[in-house]
Chain A
Amino acid sequence: MMNFELMNSISKYFSDMFSGLLSLWAGMRVTGKYFISPRAIVTQQYPENRATLKMEERFKGEIIMPHDENNLHACTGCGICEMNCPNGSIEIITDRIPNAEGKPERVIDKHIYHLSMCTFCGLCVKTCPSDALAFGQKFEHAVFDRNNLTKVLNQPGSKIRKEIKK
């Protein structure tokens, strides 16, 4: 019985060694194959491919407020994005303007976005009840004056779309 166990452990010693070597060889085969097929390069050379570079839909470059062709956006100025922003990079300045029935109604004056403080967590985009915010794909944000990083997202003269519920 003892002898059998000894034999077993000896054969396990050698089979461990050979299976270890085989698994090492399996790994080396993968990297070796990549080495001899240089066309498999997956990275892109950035400044050269700038003209053809296309970012993915999911890429979080900056926060934008999409406007349609009539310069209409969907922001009601409710301030939920401002409240949800963890580092206070959104400031909303609202105004009260009488509507068609003469009642005063809240509209945004300025939706201010501080790109320098944004961590692209996406909470503002996610929590916006009227889907007024989105992620843009622009990522070359380097500027010489940091004041340029403070942006007003609503375009001048833009209005809220009629169908958006307040």
Chain B
Amino acid sequence: MSQLLKVNDLAVSFNTYNGEVQAVRGVSFTVHKGETLAIVGESGSGKSVTTKALMRLLPKRTSVIKRGEILFEGEDLVRKSSKEMQKIRGQDIAMIFQDPMTSLNPTMKIGNQIMEGLLKHRNMSRHEAKKKAIQLLQQVGIPHAEKRLHQYPHQFSGGMRQRVVIAMALACSPKLLIADEPTTALDVTIQAQILELMKDIQKETDSAIIFITHDLGVVANIADRVAVMYAGKIVEIGTTAEIFYNPKHPYTWGLLGSMPTLDDTDEDLLSIPGSPPDMLNPPKGDAFAPRNPYALKIDAEMEPPMFKVSDTHYAATWLLHEDAPKVEPPQEVKRRMAGFSQTGVLPNVGEGEQK
């Protein structure tokens, strides 16, 4: 499988009145053609900022890419001019945003909004673009596409709007689709529909997807690989199966432990104590250490490197150091890990392992 996107040591900061906020502090990952990478983490962990940096959509005035490179098909997007980026946006990389209620222009017919990208990137005539737009709307499952084309966003429900947003993103058949919490703002039943739609689309178009979410249930459902982010860094990355069955980082344990499942009704959910660090002054050493019951003394001194667990699985915790005390995940997490396989929460784990 060939590499589509390679991010190396990306760091992004925001200049605020109070000082520099280090939102992303050195993130590296790769995305292969046709795969789905999920990035999970709490609010403020830097996942949205990372993807907006990929699109170079961060506000110019307040944000700055401090270091790192974003290699998309071998070309570094960090060095591209705004004109060159305009050609890539929408055409090669497209994005779906969190809130479908606000991500459509309220005063423009949705047909025109879908056609905008086609007219710009594909040099289509209006007539062709319109035909393509109808086809896209049908593809994302909007009935009466021809009539719907002439309607305004407020005439659509939330789920339907998100379908429109997806149709917009798909317009130019992008090689990479970035979905920034596309289901968070939707009802649970609609969430499932949108996820199904995205899976179908991926099968049809073979686009790679970066899927940002804080919902592990969604991750299990859609992702091939998972990157766990905390305080502007990736703390663990691996295939979905590895992250769910063999998590190594205490933060991942915390995430898994706080995820409710259907079968264990009598069991307490595990919560992660404390709150994320202030990114104005990131703590020395491991940012997660203050909340980590398994923290080692070295965590206060030095940041852990990425330890290799397998060819596809890495985690940044000193617990993986050969001299470190051997710790087991908490009982609740272990039980849950076992539960996943019984209840089949992970339908595509099998596929993930084969890859």
Is the pairing of A and B real?
no
